[in-house]
Structures are given as C-alpha cells and as structure tokens.
A and B are shown apart, each in its own frame.
Chain A
C-alpha cells in the first residue's frame, strides 16, 4: 500500500489533490454564498476554448485554458450588470461560445487530440510535474489574495450595498474575486476536468456548511474535506481503475449524502 506513494505520478496526484482542495476551501465558500456556481460552470467551460486554441498552436493546453478563463472572468467582471437575469444570459452565452471555439479548433488541428478526455473529465493520475508547478503558483496567488482581501471579500459577499456605503472598492473586489475564481478553476480542471469543476467548488462547502455556521470554519473544514475526498477518490480510482475525476466527485457526493442523512436521522430521533 505505502509503496505506491513512491511512484512520481502518485506523488503528483496527491499534490494536485491537496492544492485543489486548498483553492476549493478558500474560494468555494464565497462562490456558494454569492450564488456564483453557474458563473463558475461558465468560466470552467470557456477553458475548453483556450484548450482548443492551444492544441492548434501546439502549446501546453493548460496555458491556453488559463488565459481563456482569466479573460472570460475579466469580461464578466467589467460587463457585470446589476440585474442578475442579464448576467445569467451572458454567462450562458460565454459558456457555449467557449466550448464551441474549443470544438472548432480541435477539429481543424490535424490528428487525434489524445488528452481531450483528460481535460473534460480530469485525470489526477496523469498530472505532469510541470503542471503541478503551475498549480502551485496559482494556489499561492489565490491563498495570498484571499488572506489580504479577506475582509473586503466578506464585505461584498455579505452585503454589497452596505460595502458601497462604507466606500469600499466594491467593483474592484468583485472583479478580483472573479479572477481568483478563474485561477482556482484552472487548478481544479487538472484534477476533475472542466465538466466536474463545480462539484469540487460546491460539495466540500455543502458538507462543511452542515457542520458549521461560521464562515472561517467552513473554509478550513472545506479544505480538509476536499483533501479527504480527493485522496479517497484517488485511491478508489487507482485500485479499481475507475476514472479519477468521476471517482472523486462520487466520493464527495456520497459523503455529502451520509452527512446530510445522518443529520436528518438525528433530528428525527430527537
């Protein structure tokens, strides 16, 4: 059992899982409380566009994805409408356009795109060292920014109107939060893939919210749960050869079900 830890791919997988869990725990609670789950889904899918272009250009797809997701986040931030219905529409357009761009570029690139499935569904067992390094930098940026801007992010997530009345730079903070969401998404794509990113941003937070009603605690618990879920999913995937992204998400879903279920049972019994 322990000797599998000596494989480099296993070490990379564990590192990728831990880093993904850190950004999930730091950004996920903001995304959930600000109802930005759909936005995150949209941003994640625009990554596919960047990925397609990177394939076509013959560069590391991760870079293409990073640039695209950041651009999409910036666009959303600058165009942000006060009315959520307009925003909603715009996110939908961004989501589909991103995917369409990806499909077109992959189509015009000669040959078969071998890692395509990896990017859509994630494969934590094949994350290369170089990508781990990129993730590490992203995680550092996200962590430092959340530490520095924590009060400001809490203020806008809790009461944007009041934050404006307190003369905080609300618009800048919103854009900042979107850009950090983008960086988190890039980190997560390696682990669970474009389609399953929102699962990791929400499931640990959903479980943590069952266990605590304090925002900071929810952040810490989410990180720990994220690590637990990623590693459990990883071993499931390794030992019974299931797709890793899906294994991680299913472990998370099951854990959420168990926690919610046992809370309900306790309520009924009392």
Chain B
C-alpha cells in the first residue's frame, strides 16, 4: 500500500502554549485510523494542520503528489456561518470549489456529482431546503456529502458520532466501511466502540501521539486505549492504568 500523507515531527501551538509536540503519523491508502484522546489533547488541531488550515511551527507534512487537494473534511463543530442563506444542494456543491476552479462557474458534472452523493446520503429530497431547517443528523450528512463531492483520497471526520443516534451511528459506520474501499479514513472520536470492528490503526493524542496497529490493540486492547489519560471507552469497564507510553 502506498503512503499518501507523511507527517514528521510536527509541533504546533496557539499563541505560545504548545498543543502538539513532535507528532509523527503516516496515512496509507485504504488506511482506517481512529484518533482518540482527552478533550484539549490536540486532535482537532492535528486535523487542521494536515488540512492546511493552520501552519505548523515545526516539522513537515508531505502529500503524495496528486492528493494534496483531495482531502475531505467533516469538522467537529459546524464551522459554517449560520447567517448565510443556502440550500443543502448549494452547500454540498461548495465542496467542489478548489483553488483551481474558484474563478469558473460550476460545471454540469459538478452538479451531477453532487446529486449522486446527495442521493447516496438520502438527502436528495432535502436538496432545496435551507441548511438551517435541517435536523442535526441531516446537517451532519450534508457536511459529509460536502466532504465527499471533492472525490477525496483521505476523508477526515472529527467526532462524527457526537450528535447522532445509535441507528445513525451504525449506518455511518457501514457507510464508512463502504467508503474505505476507495479512500483512507481518519476518524476522531471519543467513543471508539462503533468503529471497533473496522479500524486498522489507532492513534492516541495528548500533546504527543501514540500509534498502534489493530493487532496490538486487540492484545492489550483496553490497556492501550486507557493510555490516553481520560475516560474513553467508559461504560462500566474498570479503569486500568497503563504501564507503557
């Protein structure tokens, strides 16, 4: 499998306090990485660095030639402007805008591709509704659709399960499994349970990064996860302190 993104020795902080220190991470084709860690650990910050929203203080992020603009992003909080009057279709369509085409009008294929994705995500009926009139789960799917219309090679999702019910969580998981055949997936989550069967690597982030293979996690599964000093899997499992890290 080919390497898509190579992150080496990244450090970053807002103002003067460091948030991430010496972070390394490789993302391969067809990878499926879960990113876990305590609140304020720097998970969202890492995604924003990879996506180029922030510039690292130090270190390098290199992309395989063709993919630096093929990154899909589903943000944790709705970063969009709620004041802006726009329909679901137009919102998703903005996912097709890139540095190369923002001066041109949308093409027919932009709209066709958007409609395909809207249908796939069960949003086609809602295409002419204002995004402010959607339910939380529908909005979530609009944001996923916006990330998907750019034909991403890597899809980043920040806390995608936070605002949706169990059925939708299962649907989302199945949907991501399906997508994973075509693209690498990176999911930031506080609750790895829904993804437990499908992920390939797990990264714990708390200023530093700790990276584990799936097998590794299976053997001392909970120990490793709890290595991130926060209640992660929770739900009645006794807290075990980790020896390594």
Chain A residues packing against B (C-beta within 8 Å) = 32-35, 148-149, 151-152, 154-155, 157-169, 209, 212-215, 218
B73 to A165, Cβ gap below 8 A? Answer: yes
A158 to B102, Cβ gap below 8 A? Answer: no
With beta carbons under 8 angstroms apart, the residue of A34, A148, A161, A213 that contacts B103 is A148
Within the assembled complex, what's the spacing in Å between the Cα atoms of A38 and B205?
41
B99 to A157, Cβ gap below 8 A? Answer: no
Within the assembled complex, what's the spacing in Å between the Cα atoms of A35 and B84?
10
B158-190 interface mask toward A, CB cutoff 8 Å, 1 = contact, 0 = none? 000000000000000000000000000000000
A158 to B52, Cβ gap below 8 A? Answer: no
B111 CB to nearest chain A CB (Å): 13
Within the assembled complex, what's the spacing in Å between the Cα atoms of A184 and B113?
37
Within the assembled complex, what's the spacing in Å between the Cα atoms of A218 and B98?
25
A166 to B99, Cβ gap below 8 A? Answer: yes
Apart from A162-B146, A164-B51, list 13 A-B contacts with CB within 8 A: A32-B83, A33-B84, A34-B81, A148-B103, A152-B103, A155-B97, A158-B91, A160-B81, A161-B79, A163-B97, A212-B85, A215-B85, A215-B90
- Residues in B31-49 with C-beta less than 8 Å from chain A: 48
Size category of the B interface is 20 to 34
Within the assembled complex, what's the spacing in Å between the Cα atoms of A11 and B65?
59
Within the assembled complex, what's the spacing in Å between the Cα atoms of A218 and B87?
13
A33 to B81, Cβ gap below 8 A? Answer: yes
Q: Taking A33-B85, A164-B52, A218-B85 as contacts, is the C-beta distance between A151 and B80 under 8 angstroms? A: no
Within the assembled complex, what's the spacing in Å between the Cα atoms of A21 and B58?
49
B83 to A165, Cβ gap below 8 A? Answer: no
B84 to A215, Cβ gap below 8 A? Answer: yes
A165 to B53, Cβ gap below 8 A? Answer: yes
Contact of B150 with A by CB under 8 A = yes
Specify which chain B residues have a CB less than 8 angstroms from the CB of A218 in the assembled complex.
Answer: 85
Contact of B227 with A by CB under 8 A = no
B99 to A33, Cβ gap below 8 A? Answer: no
A215 to B86, Cβ gap below 8 A? Answer: yes
B103 to A35, Cβ gap below 8 A? Answer: no
A168 to B99, Cβ gap below 8 A? Answer: yes
With beta carbons under 8 angstroms apart, the residue of B79, B85, B103, B106 that contacts A159 is B79
With beta carbons under 8 angstroms apart, the residue of B52, B69, B79, B94 that contacts A154 is B94
Within the assembled complex, what's the spacing in Å between the Cα atoms of A161 and B95?
12
With beta carbons under 8 angstroms apart, the residue of B52, B87, B104 that contacts A165 is B52
Specify which chain B residues have a CB less than 8 angstroms from the CB of A162 in the assembled complex.
Answer: 73, 75, 79-80, 94, 146
Nearest B residue to A153, CB-CB: B102
With beta carbons under 8 angstroms apart, the residue of B53, B75, B80, B87 that contacts A214 is B87
B99 to A169, Cβ gap below 8 A? Answer: yes
With beta carbons under 8 angstroms apart, the residue of A157, A166, A168 that contacts B81 is A157
Within the assembled complex, what's the spacing in Å between the Cα atoms of A164 and B69?
11
Specify which chain A residues have a CB less than 8 angstroms from the CB of B75 in the assembled complex.
Answer: 161-162
B71 to A33, Cβ gap below 8 A? Answer: no
A151 to B97, Cβ gap below 8 A? Answer: yes
Within the assembled complex, what's the spacing in Å between the Cα atoms of A151 and B79?
18
B85 to A209, Cβ gap below 8 A? Answer: yes
With beta carbons under 8 angstroms apart, the residue of B90, B95, B102 that contacts A152 is B102
6 tightest A-B CB contacts, nearest first: A159-B80, A161-B79, A165-B51, A167-B99, A164-B53, A152-B102
B81 to A158, Cβ gap below 8 A? Answer: yes
Within the assembled complex, what's the spacing in Å between the Cα atoms of A209 and B102?
26
Within the assembled complex, what's the spacing in Å between the Cα atoms of A155 and B87?
14
* Complex A-B: 11 CB contacts under 8 Å: A33-B83, A33-B85, A34-B83, A35-B83, A155-B102, A159-B81, A162-B79, A162-B94, A166-B97, A167-B52, A168-B99
B69 to A158, Cβ gap below 8 A? Answer: no
Nearest A residue to B143, CB-CB: A162
- Among A152, A159, A163, chain B packs the most CB atoms within 10 A around the CB of A159
Nearest A residue to B105, CB-CB: A151
Contact of B198 with A by CB under 8 A = no
Contact of B138 with A by CB under 8 A = no
With beta carbons under 8 angstroms apart, the residue of A155, A164, A214 that contacts B85 is A214
Within the assembled complex, what's the spacing in Å between the Cα atoms of A96 and B133?
40
- Among B73, B86, B91, B101, chain A packs the most CB atoms within 10 A around the CB of B86
With beta carbons under 8 angstroms apart, the residue of B84, B97, B146, B150 that contacts A168 is B97
B108 CB to nearest chain A CB (Å): 16
Specify which chain B residues have a CB less than 8 angstroms from the CB of A157 in the assembled complex.
Answer: 81, 84
B45-78 interface mask toward A, CB cutoff 8 Å, 1 = contact, 0 = none? 0001001110000000000000011010101000
Specify which chain B residues have a CB less than 8 angstroms from the CB of A165 in the assembled complex.
Answer: 51-53, 71, 73
Within the assembled complex, what's the spacing in Å between the Cα atoms of A162 and B83?
16
Nearest B residue to A82, CB-CB: B14
